[in-house]
Amino acid sequence: MSIATFADGLYATSFSTALRETTWIIPDLQAVHILAISVVIGSALITELRFAGILATDRPAPDVLRRYLPWMRAALWVLLATGILLVIAEPQRTLGNVVFWLKMVLVAGASLVTIQARKGLLRSSAGTNEAAAHETSRGLAFIMLLVWCAVIFCGRFIAYT
């Protein structure tokens, strides 16, 4: 079964139709989606700038990460839930769109780096390996911020491609 056939089938389901035809659902889902993006961006900005040695340098990096990671994780679940509902409501607009898939790859990559690759940093107690962690993650911190920006641009451009 091709993606197009799947999208058509999904579009025809009564759940998809109900989501699409209840006028307030899509705008409000998108608003919640943007609120959750704000939580991710706010958390990412503070933690990545901390890793880059620009913000809150008097606080240990693991402590800063520990403070924002649960919020980021929760916001990513909200994004996934609202995102899935938006795809069900308008499957052809999203699943058949190359910008949508680019966004998915970027989100998956950024989430993986945030939640998995930095687990080691969380385990290290405050102060230890501080200098080493700082040195190795400065470039990565800027790349991560750029990736989150790209995710926002992709999100908006889905509506235009």
Partner 1 sequence: MTLETTLQQINDLPLSAAIRENINAFPMLESLHVLAVAIVFGTILVVDLRLFGIASHRSSAQRLSAELLPYTWGAFVLAVITGVLMFITNPISYANNTEFLIKLILIAVAGLNMVWFHSTTYRRIAEWDEDMPPPTAARIAGAVSFVLWTAVIFLGRWIGFTLEFFFF
Binding residues vs partner 1 (CB under 8 A): 23, 26-28, 30-31, 34-35, 37-43, 45-46, 50, 55-56, 58-59, 63-64, 67-68, 149, 152-153, 155-157, 159-160
Q: Report the candidate in 120, 110, 108, 101 with the shortest Cα–Cα distance to residue 144.
A: 110
Beta carbon nearer to partner 1, 119 or 156: 156
Q: Which residues contact 149 (CB under 8 A, 6 or more apart)?
A: none
Beta carbon nearer to partner 1, 35 or 117: 35
Instruction: Quote the least distance from Cβ 28 to partner 1, whole Å.
Output: 7
Instruction: Quote the least distance from Cβ 55 to partner 1, whole Å.
Output: 7
Instruction: Quote the least distance from Cβ 30 to partner 1, whole Å.
Output: 5
Cα dihedral 7, 11, 14, 19, rounded to 10, equals 110
Beta carbon nearer to partner 1, 8 or 63: 63
Q: Which residues contact 111 (CB under 8 A, 6 or more apart)?
A: 76
Q: Which parts of the chain fold into alpha helices (H)?
A: 3-12, 14-21, 25-51, 61-89, 91-95, 98-112, 119-123, 130-157
Beta carbon nearer to partner 1, 55 or 88: 55
Instruction: Quote the least distance from Cβ 1 to partner 1, whole Å.
Output: 32
